[in-house]
Amino acid sequence: MSDPFENVDAASPQMIDIIASALETRAEDTDMLPVIDAYLDAIAVGDGGHIVDIGSGTGGITRRIADRFPKALVTGLEPSTALTEKAKELAGDRSNLTFRLGDGGALDVDSDTIDVAILHTVLSHVQSPEPLVSEAVRILRPGGSLVICDADFSKAKMGVVPGDPLGSCADAFVAGAVTDPWVAGKLKPLVNTARLETRHFSVLNRVVTSGMGSMVWVRMSTARMVADGVIGQPLADALEAEYLRRAEAGTLYCVLPFVTLIATKQTS
Ligand SMILES: C[S@@+](CC[C@H](N)C(=O)[O-])C[C@H]1O[C@@H](n2cnc3c(N)ncnc32)[C@H](O)[C@@H]1O
């Protein structure tokens, strides 16, 4: 199965809706915000500085960045037209925030001009992360910061017993919607280029025990299995109902580690 995040516009309208809604839910999820705020706390951007969010999706995190740094210019670059349109709709009247189409492997941004480049859960969804890292380094000014935050999907778990039916949704999500579940563990060597110096590396667990934060694992995996004729809609509905039941009953348990790496571009 191919990862729909590799080319969101090629996905079905139902899948695009699931993706857009999941990205928005996650960007506001109290289980996710500490991970985002931890790296925003660690970067300094002066007035008039420029932050680029590469692979910005519907812009939920980009909006948070723009609100956090109101005197900086914030640009979200995203290859999907559908997600970029959604991001523009949701941007509101923030004067420091713009969204436009852009592929992380070939950015339409001048070299040595950007203060902070952010890749938030993008590299786990591309076949080859190296060109995206090279492009991010190219656009950064010397002394600028690259922030890579990605999930360690190799350790994604949902459920409380071996063979838990919801656990199969997590497994199916990772198998069908994550290009490289192991990329988080490869980040240090990936940025180990002559022009980058890693100054921060940490892992925080996102633990979801209530709310809709991990429902995407159920919805995306079951939608695909129904479309492929693997399961019927009644089982998909039952798995969604089971997620909701556990969220309501307080028995939901989903764990996903997030790795954050911050590196500084060296003067040549
Ligand atoms: C899981 S989403 C994350 C979106 C956003 N960063 C967030 O966390 O809300 C992955 C995003 O990477 C984008 N993407 C995929 N390939 C890309 C590429 N080559 N360059 C930039 N973004 C890419 C997808 O379109 C999608 O919006």
CATH code at position 55: 3.40.50.150
Which pLDDT score, from 0 to 100, does residue 172 have?
Answer: 95
Q: Which residue has the tokens 């360690």?
A: 152
Q: Which two tokens stand for residue 43?
A: 């970067």
Q: Name the residue of 5, 8, 16, 18 to mutate for ligand 1: max ligand atoms within 8 A of Cβ.
A: 5
User: Does the Cβ of 148 fall within 6 Å of ligand 1?
Assistant: no
Q: Name the residue of 15, 122, 124, 147 to mutate for ligand 1: max ligand atoms within 8 A of Cβ.
A: 122
Burial per residue of 22-44, b for 16 or more beta-carbon CB atoms within 10 angstroms, e otherwise: bbbbbbebebbbebbebbbeebe
Total number of domains in the chain: 1
User: Does the Cβ of 3 fall within 6 Å of ligand 1?
Assistant: no
Are 136 and 129 contacting, i.e. CB atoms less than 8 angstroms apart? no
Are 182 and 154 contacting, i.e. CB atoms less than 8 angstroms apart? yes
Which pLDDT score, from 0 to 100, does residue 267 have?
Answer: 85
Distance 31 CA to ligand 1 centre (A): 20
pTM of the predicted structure, to 2 decimals: 0.95
Q: Return averaged pLDDT per consecutive 10 residues of the chain, 268 residues in all.
A: 91 94 93 95 95 98 97 98 98 97 98 98 97 97 97 97 96 96 95 87 96 94 94 98 97 98 91
Rounded to whole angstroms, the Cα distance separating 76 from 96 reads 11
Which pLDDT score, from 0 to 100, does residue 90 have?
Answer: 98
For ligand 1, what atom is nearest to the CA of residue 131? 19
Rounded to whole angstroms, the Cα distance separating 19 from 231 reads 21
Distance 163 CA to ligand 1 centre (A): 31
- Per the DSSP assignment, residues forming a β-bridge with 256 are 206
- Per the DSSP assignment, residues forming a β-bridge with 145 are 116, 264
Best CA proximity match to 219, nearest among 208, 207, 227: 227
Are 219 and 18 contacting, i.e. CB atoms less than 8 angstroms apart? yes
Q: Where are the alpha helices (DSSP H) in the chain?
A: 13-27, 33-41, 60-68, 81-90, 130-139, 165-177, 187-190, 215-227, 233-249
Burial per residue of 157-186, b for 16 or more beta-carbon CB atoms within 10 angstroms, e otherwise: bbbeeeeeebbbbbbbbbebbbbbbebbee
User: Does the Cβ of 105 fall within 6 Å of ligand 1?
Assistant: yes
For ligand 1, what atom is nearest to the CA of residue 125? 15
Which pLDDT score, from 0 to 100, does residue 194 have?
Answer: 64
Q: Which two tokens stand for residue 236?
A: 């998909």
Are 242 and 166 contacting, i.e. CB atoms less than 8 angstroms apart? yes
Best CA proximity match to 173, nearest among 243, 118, 104: 243
Rounded to whole angstroms, the Cα distance separating 45 from 144 reads 9
Best CA proximity match to 198, nearest among 210, 211, 187, 184: 187
- The closest residue, in CA terms, to atom 13 on ligand 1 is 55
Are 185 and 153 contacting, i.e. CB atoms less than 8 angstroms apart? no
User: Does the Cβ of 62 fall within 6 Å of ligand 1?
Assistant: no
Q: What domain range includes position 125?
A: 4-265
- The closest residue, in CA terms, to atom 14 on ligand 1 is 55
